[in-house]
Amino acid sequence: MEEEVNTTARTATVSRTTKETDITLTVALDGTGMSSVNSGVVFLDHMLTNFSRHSGFDLALECRGDLDVDDHHSVEDVALVLGSAISEALGEKRGIQRYGWALIPMDEALARCALDLGGRSYCVFNAEFRRPVIQGFSTEMVEHFFLSLSGTLKANIHLSILEGENTHHKIEALFKSFAYAMKAAVAINGTEIPSTKGKL
């Protein structure tokens, strides 16, 4: 992946080209929640637009993928690139809160996210979905999206659905809970690296 980092602001652009996908993504952590998202997967676009709006991250994404095969490669690679871009934008993570958590309701659904930007990748995911596909997006890919993202973001991410029946509501609540947890975790509240190790 090619990476370009702006050292005066928390922004980064990451590109990834394989035989399966061609992706360019730019993120600005201190934005206003503006987004231009074209993953080729309609429901994923909806989720990433929600993520941008509720995290406050500005997000620009263009992805051309082998959707004639299925949505797997596009969803997975977008997650990998998003994690890489946020990680690059964070730099050495000096002064960030590091931890974030959120409890988000959406009608009958209730989602919880807790995360740590401490440099170790791990994902715990607890949710089940009745509908297998929403607008070209395989619901089994929700877990895989966050698993892939946790790897390149170097983050520990715990996501759970505590209540809910409607598949759309549950997935959207998960993405929004992740957005609010990220918004808290990247917030600047000091000048030190938030670790007794002195490095994240």
pLDDT of 193: 85
pTM of the model: 0.94
Identify whether the C-beta of residue 103 lies closer than 8 Å to the C-beta of residue 25. Answer: no
Contact 57, 80 (CB under 8 A): no
Question: Distance between CA 130 and CA 140 in Å, rounded?
Answer: 10
Digit-coded pLDDT (tens) for 143-162: 999 999 999 999 999 999 99
Q: How far apart are CA 157 and CA 100, in angstroms?
A: 10
pLDDT, one tens digit per residue, over 13-52 is 999 999 999 999 999 999 999 999 999 999 999 999 999 9
Domain ranges of the chain: 2-185
Work out the pLDDT band at 6, boundaries 50, 70, 90: very low
CA distance 1 to 89: 15
Which residues fall within 8 angstroms of residue 85, CB to CB, at 6 or more apart?
A: 3, 12, 13, 14, 25, 26, 27
Question: What's the pLDDT tens digit per position in 86-107?
Answer: 999 999 999 999 999 999 999 9
Please determine, looking at this structure, whether the domain spanning 2-185 carries the CATH number 3.30.230.40: yes
Q: What is the mean pLDDT of the chain?
A: 95
Q: How far apart are CA 83 and CA 41, in angstroms?
A: 18
Q: Which residue has the tokens 């095969």?
A: 69
At residue 3, the pLDDT reads 56
For the chain, give the longest Cα–Cα distance. 49
